[in-house]
Amino acid sequence: MDDPHNPKQALSDVQRAAANKWYDGTLTSRLNDIKNGAIILIMQRLHESDLTGHLLERGDVEHLKIPNEFEEKTIYHFPISGREIVKTKGEYLHPDRMGKPEADKKKVELGAYNYAGQYQQRPVPLGGGEFKELWYSYYEGELDVRNMNIYIIADPANEKKKDSDYTAITVIGLAPDHNYYLLDMIRDKLNPTERVEAIFQLHRKWNAKGGKPPTVGYEKYGMQSDIHYLNLRQDETNYRFHIAELAGGMAKEDRIRRLIPA
């Protein structure tokens, strides 16, 4: 079987699970010789939970992994001929075709996450797949926010239950030095009225500090549930500001991975 996942579909939990379910429930029953038959899967890695990841988690498979760059000494043994191929750490699979310059260029084009999956057969970059703490710097003291463009970004959770997600509201400042500063943040379980009150408090606070109204962005589906309360609060207080709808075309985790630098 060759590449059971479409690269775009592999980012969808539903599509990925459907491919894995089809393998478990359909393909495995199609062998002509159940005792001696085998299924050979050849694919690029696209996600930790793609079909290869699914089979590795189950176990009972022979896994042949051939990366573009070898991250450790690797020995490939041919059981019939007895031949061995030895690759050392840092060696490239086919340097005449794709050595370090070509690999570095491809890392920039694809990003660390996609390169790790498609070329290293390991869909998590070394050191982790998401943002790393060392990429962040901490500042002390007061910042001059009057020269910043300030953004209030809201990602609300729909319910206020014990096992529900948290609402996150962040205040981000884009400074003349081209750095983004996390100026303020709320992470709590809030009902719609509490969310709206938090937005208004943050807007008033950073409007005063920054000397100009912050730009407000609201996650698409959360905005649909909260817009009535936001409009009502603006009418009640006669304090008005524009709210932009923020929409994403893929899962949050995968949007994050696209931001991972090479």
Quickly state the pLDDT bin for 8 (edges 50, 70, 90).
confident
pLDDT at 205: 97
Q: Do 170 and 243 fall within a single domain?
A: yes
Q: Do 28 and 113 fall within a single domain?
A: no
- Range of 45's domain? 1-63
pLDDT at 126: 58
Question: Higher confidence at residue 117 or residue 11?
Answer: 117
Amino acid at 18: A
Among the candidates 24, 44, 63, a domain finishes at 63
pLDDT at 14: 85
> Is residue 140 situated within a structural domain?
yes
Lowest mean pLDDT among 167-176, 186-195, 221-230: 221-230
> Is residue 262 situated within a structural domain?
no
pLDDT digits (tens, 9 = 90+) for 151-184: 999 999 876 666 778 999 999 999 999 889 999 9
Quickly state the pLDDT bin for 128 (edges 50, 70, 90).
low
Predicted TM-score (pTM) of this structure: 0.55
CATH number of the domain bearing residue 200: 3.30.420.240
Q: Do 158 and 168 fall within a single domain?
A: yes
CA 234 to chain centre: 35
C-alpha 7/C-alpha 11 separation (Å) is 7
Q: Do 50 and 86 fall within a single domain?
A: no
Task: Go through 226-258 and write b for each residue having 16 or more CB atoms within 10 A of its CB, e for each that does not.
Answer: beebbeebeeeeeeebebeeeeeeeeeebeebe
Q: What is the mean pLDDT of residues 102-122?
A: 89
Among the candidates 78, 111, 128, a domain finishes at 128
pLDDT surpassing 90 at residue 39: yes
pLDDT at 253: 67
Q: Do 73 and 112 fall within a single domain?
A: yes
The CA-CA-CA angle for residues 46, 47, 52, to 5°, reads: 85
Question: Higher confidence at residue 201 or residue 135?
Answer: 201
Q: Do 240 and 144 fall within a single domain?
A: yes
> Is residue 241 situated within a structural domain?
yes
Among the candidates 42, 63, 84, a domain finishes at 63
Percentage above 90 pLDDT, the chain = 63
Contact 229, 196 (CB under 8 A): yes
> Is residue 146 situated within a structural domain?
yes
Q: Do 69 and 121 fall within a single domain?
A: yes
- For 173, phi and psi rounded to 5 degrees? -110, 125
Domain count, the chain: 3
Q: Do 140 and 241 fall within a single domain?
A: yes
pLDDT digits (tens, 9 = 90+) for 17-30: 999 999 999 999 99
Q: Do 211 and 250 fall within a single domain?
A: yes
Q: What percent helix, strand, coil does the chain show, rounded to 5? A: 35, 15, 45
Amino acid at 89: K
pLDDT digits (tens, 9 = 90+) for 48-87: 889 999 999 998 899 999 999 999 999 999 999 999 999 9
Average pLDDT, the chain: 89
Q: Do 186 and 240 fall within a single domain?
A: yes
SS3 199: helix
